[in-house]
Amino acid sequence: MLFSLVSKNLKCQRTIKINLMKFKLLIFSISLFIISCENTSKKQQPLERSLIELSMDKNAHSLLLDSTINALSIGVYKEGKVYINHYGELDKGQSNQPTNETIYEIASVSKTFAGTLVAQAELEGRLNLEDDIRKYLKEDFPNLQYQGNPIRIKDLISHTSRLPKFLPQIVNQVIENPTDSLAFQIYKAEKNYSREQFFSDLHSVIIDTIPGTKESYSSVDTELIAHLLENIYNKSYEELIQEKICTKLGMIHTGVVLPSSLKENVANGYIQNNTLAPPMTNTLWGAGGGIKSTLPDLIQYIKFQLDKEDKLSTQSHQLVYQNEDYKIGYYWPISHDDFYGTYYSHHGGAFGTQNVLFIFPEKDLGISVITNQNISNTSSKLYKITNDILEDLKQNK
């Protein structure tokens, strides 16, 4: 009986040992599986993602040490991957960090949308870059020429028309003698300025040299091209932006005229001493600087601009004018970098916002950096942070 119990006990112990071994093997196998999965995940995680985000964070936090910058949004598109981060607070002391729903005024970056629409009209055979712009105007403008040389479509999209920088003319005078109240002075001059007044002033413009021979930056160029496009398509400029660009690219939070449901998402803008800036005026067409957008929408726009298979984006990058120091496509300034190759960029500055947008087709790379502040040197700070991110990416190529 004792032998039988001992025997049973020994069998039981062996069974327990065997089961314990199996359990340990099971735990070991699970551990190996987890480690393998973690290693696989690390291998699948692209190294450049962490490098890009580390660079974005490092440079953004460095910039936010500047007391004049409250908020910053950075978006990078690289080789099919999107990186978006937001920093700071839109309104000082409110702890309201920007988000993907935050809508910014992109100011003169809006001009590239107009250039894209011109390229679209050209591809559709609706206009030719050599056309006299008066072909598409409903009034006579004998003054829009110089010694028999008319302003052509190509002169508008390359800023070589010799039209004024702004209309009404008083805005040009205010900008030449800037003060701390500059934004409010411009706002006052523009808030009631109508399209009728624009055309009245356009009649009095004097062209001082042959169009197409000398570059001079102008928002009047772009406002006028918007009107020409309206006459060509018999649609409003806003309709054209939505139909030809935004709907096509899924940019549902972008436009000159936003639906009321989105207006509360527009970021406040600030100027010197954290003073609330006046709102942007869009009494004309908004082509020169009236578009508002979110960073995710701008990434969609960047992706489109990088698509080498898209005839529209590649057409809008074609060289229209150049001199020794200046090259431009369809409102896209063109530059070259030894590492990044030929690239396209635009800056936008409005009453209380600054942003830069860069397109590097050879690297399938694009960057958008935005802040809701605008003082005298804000743009140089945005160019610096963009350059620093590009340098980081170059060092870790």
Same domain, 32 and 59: no
Task: Note the pLDDT tens digit of each residue in 165-206.
Answer: 999 999 999 999 888 899 999 999 999 999 999 999 999 999
Same domain, 37 and 130: no
Same domain, 26 and 88: no
pLDDT at 267: 97
Q: For tokens 């107009």, name the residue.
A: 114
Bridge partners of 356, per DSSP, are 347, 369
Same domain, 30 and 132: no
Q: For residue 246, give the CATH number of its domain.
A: 3.40.710.10
Q: pTM, whole model, 2 decimals? A: 0.87
Same domain, 65 and 96: yes
Q: How far apart are CA 112 and CA 331, in angstroms?
A: 5
The type of residue at 213 is T
By DSSP bridging, strand 145-146 and strand 149-150 are: antiparallel
DSSP assignments along 130-181, one per residue: TSBGGGG-SS--TTSEETTEE-BHHHHHTT-S---SSSSHHHHHHHHS--TT
Domain range for 187 is: 47-395
Nearest CA-CA partner of 365 in 313, 299, 292, 296: 299
Same domain, 279 and 315: yes
pLDDT at 279: 86
Task: Note the pLDDT tens digit of each residue in 287-324.
Answer: 999 999 999 999 999 999 999 999 999 999 999 999 99
Q: For tokens 């800023």, name the residue.
A: 159
Q: For tokens 């008066």, name the residue.
A: 134
With bands split at pLDDT 50, 70 and 90, how would you rate the model's confidence at 8? very low
CB 102 within 8 A of CB 85: no
**H/E element holding 213?**
none
Measured from the Cβ of residue 212, the count of other Cβ atoms closer than 10 Å reads 20
Nearest CA-CA partner of 357 in 311, 307, 293, 312: 293
Q: How many domains does the chain have?
A: 2
The type of residue at 98 is P
Domain boundary among 9, 25, 45: 45
Same domain, 75 and 18: no
